[in-house]
A = this chain, B = another copy of it.
Amino acid sequence: MTAVPFDDWVRQVQSGMEDVLATLLPPAAAAPARLHEAMRYAVLDGGKRVRPLLVHAAGELHDADRNTLARAAAAVEMIHAYSLVHDDMPCMDDDALRRGKPTVHVKYDEATALLVGDALQAQAFLALAEAGGDPSRTLRMLRLLAQASGSAGMCGGQAIDLASVGTTLSLSELEQMHRLKTGALLRASVMLGALCGQVPDAAESAALDAYAAAVGLAFQVVDDVLDATADSQTLGKTAGKDAVDNKPTYVSILGLEESRALAQKLREDAHRALLPFGDKARRLRELADLIVQRKA
Contacts and interface: CB of A to CB of B under 8 A. Distances in A.
A154 to B, nearest CB: 8
A53 interface: no
Given A152-B26, A163-B34, A122 B146 contact: yes
A86 B129 CA distance: 25
Copies of this protein in the complex: 2
Contact of A119 (B112, B122, B156): B156
Contact of A147 (B126, B136, B155, B160): B126
A143 interface: yes
Contacts of A115: 155, 158-159, 162
A91 interface: yes
Contacts of A158: 115
Interface in A56-88: 82-83, 86
Contacts of A35: 151, 155-156, 159
B89 A155 contact: no
A86 B118 contact: yes
Nearest to A113: B91
Contacts of A163: 32, 34
Nearest to A130: B143
A31 B155 CA distance: 12
Contacts of A111: 91-92, 162
Given A115-B159, A151-B35, A162-B111, A123 B139 contact: no
A53 B112 CA distance: 31
